[in-house]
Structure 1
């Protein structure tokens, strides 16, 4: 790993047991390689089932690593024991997709934010001061500590989740579809919050999404995942505005836009692209049948 990389994933393979007796294992990730610099955001984009969430889970120790290597902050983080994983959690945190189910509905916000601090041995006045700082950082009032998650809107709950991820001042946050459950206007505000926090703290993000337009807004670099393989990777502006791979083009055309006329044009272009790909596959299918 070069000195400029905070995270480097080298030929990562994740497999799950196959269904049935003697069934072959199911390979979800096929030698995936990517890297993230300090203070930068890598957007990881792909449709449902592409394996993008599995990458995030593998980084967090929640998915089995069959092959390859994960290096974080200069140290091997591929296979960590429980105590090592606990230490790593100071520097690597996560924000999940659903801001409600990721928060304990029976706990007050103050207790939710105190949890990661207490686990790391921070309590008392230091924890209270840190919680107040976090609420201010994500734009929530100080009296939020005495309220329950159900008393907040979806966007506010996601702000709480972001505050919890920031509690230990991590170097990297894995953001797993963190705005997909929000309406468009709330999405924009939460994305701006992510950008503001990155400018203030220098935290890095692995930002997982199915939406290329969202990824363009927040990412420095983009990797496109298709069936466990990265099919296109590069600077965000290049990949999201001038994609080369047909799959990336389909993802771009599938992203919703507020203008109905533009949306209709996108749908027609996407349909034409799908039809062209189907036509290109027909000779191969016919040849296989003839053989």
Structure 2
């Protein structure tokens, strides 16, 4: 028995350490664009890490780096005990069983010419599952995400946005992965559908123990679904901690601005939040404009 097992500690499923991501730019001697700088995160089995920030903060790039879709310039990404920072294409295919993704737009993430049954069976047949076993698993997946059994014979265009996202979630679950990268999976949905899909994510996690790296620009969304939250700003993590602490009593001015930007139903509270946010922005501009010490 290892010392970790003796003390009851759960090892991380995903660990990102000192990660930098740079993109080369066209042009003679142009410096590379650094999208991420010194990123450090960890996710345990059955845990959700919410990754929040405004557009351009680097949160989607971090998810893409974990999936092997963005270049790792420095640092390491360790998944289930193996360094996958520079995994080959063949290694990535094998990783597909344990590492999956749900994209933002349910309208473009599904092949419009395939029936739902074929969409869900595809990852199973690629892994060599017999046709009968694949059909049985497809029925289980539809039941798991709350879709009718006759969905197997229908095309994606016959479903609403929320139903299509359920299909995308079912496809990600097909191979019983250990981690799902969720890239803004509810931002294209209306508010009532968002709540239903978020509750579905939570129920699936309770039933299967899957982990999520949940990317969102909405602090209220990550508060609802996350155990811990990391806040990204200009390619860096500026605050990280328990979801309740970060989303209700943030320490960093940027996180405070994100919290104040979240809408609330009370008009008076909304007006107060707006004024507080403008005050924070004005204070930040003063700090940015201050001359450097001699």
When normalised by structure 1's length, the TM-score is 0.95
Aligned to 1:143: 150
Q: In the alignment, which of 90, 96, 110 is matched to residue 97 of structure 2?
A: 90
Task: Please say if 1:217 is aligned against 2:251.
Answer: no
Query: Displacement of 1:271 after TM fit?
Result: 1.1
Q: In the alignment, which of 43, 46, 56 is matched to residue 49 of structure 1?
A: 56
Query: Displacement of 1:265 after TM fit?
Result: 2.4
Q: In the alignment, which of 156, 164, 167 is matched to residue 160 of structure 1?
A: 167
Query: Displacement of 1:79 after TM fit?
Result: 0.9
Task: Please say if 1:272 is aligned against 2:276.
Answer: no
Aligned to 1:171: 178
Aligned to 2:128: 121
Query: Displacement of 1:195 after TM fit?
Result: 0.2
Counterpart-to-counterpart distance in 2, 1:275 and 1:164: 46
Query: Displacement of 1:3 after TM fit?
Result: 5.2
Size of the aligned set, in residue pairs, is 287
2:150 counterpart SS class: helix
Aligned to 2:187: 180
Query: Displacement of 1:20 after TM fit?
Result: 1.5
Stretches of structure 1 that go unaligned for 5 or more consecutive residues are none
CA contact (8 A) 2:125 2:131 kept: no
1:56 counterpart SS class: helix
Aligned to 1:254: 261
For 1:210-249, what aligned pairs fall within 5 Å after superposition? 210-249=217-256
CA contact (8 A) 2:65 2:72 kept: yes
Query: Displacement of 1:119 after TM fit?
Result: 1.1
**Deviation string, structure 1 residues 57-106 (Cα, Å, up to 9, x no partner):** 11111111111001111111111111111111100000000011001111
- Identify which range, 76-85 or 209-218, moves more after superposition: 76-85
Aligned to 1:64: 71
Stretches of structure 2 that go unaligned for 5 or more consecutive residues are none
1:269 counterpart SS class: helix
Report the CA distance shift for 1:184/1:261 in structure 2 as closer, same or farther (over 3 A): farther
Counterpart-to-counterpart distance in 2, 1:71 and 1:279: 40
2:290 counterpart SS class: helix
